[in-house]
Amino acid sequence: DTRKGLMSSDDMGSFTNLMCLVQKGMSNGYLDGLPYVRVKETQMTGDGHAEFDFTKYNIKIYGDSGDVYFPESTLSDIFTDLVYHYSVCNGETFYFNSVNPSNQDNISMIDPDYAKPIMDKLDKDLNRPEDMAEYAYNELMFSFDHFYGFPGMAVLNDEIKEKGLEQALIDYGEEGEKTVELLKSRNLAEYMCGLGKLQLFVNDGGHTVVDYADLANAKTDELKKAIDKINEELEPLYKNVEFENDEIRERWRSHLARTKMRDDVYKNEKYIKEGDTAVYVLDSFMGFDMDKWNKYYKEGGARPTILTMRDDDIINIDACLKDADSDPDIKNFVFDCSNNTGGSLDEVAMLYSMITGNRESIFCMENALTGQKISETYEADLNFDRKFDE
């Protein structure tokens, strides 16, 4: 309803589904696109109803007899998914991030000069046009209020859920009020500092990042000096926010302590055999070469090995499991994930299937917008023959 500024859908997940670009016919769930796993089935609770009231954010939509028109960034935020399918416009060119998007999570990786037209529109005091500054703030609030995933450890996690981002920041106190002021500023240096300070309130240890790399990569000397000056002036104000999240801080302390302890034992080796036990050290689920795997699954050729994919976790683990199986002294195989920082669920699904011998695995998640509980069944190509038929 363009007159009331409302948009609703009884199945928002299907309406905005771009995951079919990763796997044909896939529902709107999660898959990074490593070709040795695929989604077999997705089950969801509820009907997926969602509604947006754009008037609350002074975001205008327009319509005629057959079409509805949205601001480009608003439409992109509605359709953006877990593997960074999105679009942006710098005032001159539209960019669509749709091919192997997990390797390109900011536009400057596609076009290093993306932000130049934006910089060219700044006045001598580094100010943006007033209407664009207002829209950027409103769109940021709209995005957080509807698409933030509430991971649980951020300083303002529950407050954003209850009040929305703007009110949560204001109610936090002086630091939050200053952040709102910076984010509303026409001055690009102040706005970028505001984005940096916002990260302090939503940092959850890795999955929420307020990323302005596209602008940061285009910083002029003048802009960089302005940002450094503002950050230096604000440093005393924000010290308490930086140290408020005890859980994240304690995690990193433990991480550093374990790193020192493990290095003394493992001597920086990833695969260790001691007595009747083999240990594989797995510090992330990001040890893969997406391009090489995709090339093999699309074009065929020789099966990947340690010689052709030396740094790939799955290839290395496969070789180590076979080595342990062939060693009569080894009775136990242990994965040391004590310092694992996370990564791709695709790799986790493959690893689970390799350990259990069951090519199917089930992972659960929740859609923060619709409230739906989602269960995805993955299946793995256990022998890497490019067929899901084991």
CA distance 60 to 189: 27
**Domain assignment of residue 89, yes or no:** yes
**DSSP assignment letter at 173:** -
Burial class (CB in 10 A: 0-12, 13-18, 19+), 20: exposed
**In the sheet where 271-274 sits, what is the strand order?**
271-274, 277-281, 332-336
Q: What is the predicted pLDDT for the residue at 21?
A: 87
Residues 225 and 281 in one domain: no
Pairing of strands 86-89, 332-336: unpaired
Residue 99: pLDDT band by 50, 70, 90 thresholds? low
**Is 200 in the same domain as 66?**
yes
Same domain for 154 and 134, yes or no, is yes
Residue 38 lies in a domain: no
Q: Are residues 241 and 252 in the same domain?
A: no
Instruction: Show which of 227, 245, 263 is a domain's final residue.
Output: 245
3-state secondary structure of 244: coil
Q: Tell me, what amino acid is at 211?
A: D
| R_g of the chain computed on alpha carbons | 24
Question: Are 255 and 225 within one domain?
Answer: no
Residues 51 and 123 in one domain: yes
Q: Is residue 153 part of a domain?
A: yes
143 and 257 housed in the same domain: no
Query: Which of 225, 245, 265 is at the close of a domain?
Result: 245
Residue type, 238: Y
What is the extent of the structural domain holding 139?
47-245
State the amino acid at position 121 in one-letter form. Answer: K
- The tokens describing 28, both together, are 């709107």
**For residues 220 and 385, which has the higher predicted lDDT (pLDDT)?**
385
Residues 199 and 138 in one domain: yes
Q: Say how far apart CA 42 and CA 185 lie, in whole Å.
A: 43
Residue 18: inside a domain: no
Give every CB contact of residue 141 below 8 A, 6+ residues apart in sequence: 57, 164, 165, 166
Task: Indicate whether 183 pLDDT > 70.
Answer: yes
Res. 264: pLDDT tops 70: yes
Query: Is 374 within the bounds of a domain?
Result: no
Specify the number of domains making up the chain.
Answer: 2
Query: Do residues 279 and 138 both lie within one domain?
Result: no
DSSP letters of 58-90? T---EE-SS-EE--HHHHHHHH--TT--EEEE-
Which residues 6+ apart lie within 8 Å of 221 measured at CB? none
Nearest partner of 228 among 133, 99, 309, 220, judged by Cα: 220
In this prediction, residue 390 carries a pLDDT of 64
Token pair listed for 104:
């390109």
pLDDT at residue 105, as a whole number: 62
Inform me whether the pLDDT recorded for 216 exceeds 90: no
Assess whether 225 and 86 both reside in one domain: yes
Q: What is the pLDDT of residue 267?
A: 87
Say what the pLDDT of residue 256 is. 87
pLDDT over 70 at 62, yes or no:
yes
Residue ending a domain, choose from 302, 319, 343: 343
Same domain for 268 and 234: no
Q: Say which residues have a Cβ less than 8 Å from residue 389's Cβ, sequence separation at least 6.
A: none
Highest mean pLDDT among 14-23, 136-145, 255-264 belongs to 136-145
Query: Does residue 36 belong to any structural domain of this protein?
Result: no
pLDDT, average across residues 326-338: 96
The pLDDT > 70 percentage for the chain reads 96
pLDDT, one tens digit per residue, over 361-388 is 999 999 989 999 999 999 999 999 999 9
User: Which phi and psi (to 5°) does residue 366 adopt?
Assistant: -135, 140
Domain presence at residue 260: yes
Q: Where are the alpha helices (DSSP H) in 308-386?
A: 313-326, 345-356
Q: Is 132 in the same domain as 169?
A: yes
CB 241, CB 155: distance < 8 Å: yes
Look at 212 and 3; give whichever has higher pLDDT.
3
State yes or no: pLDDT of 96 exceeds 90: no
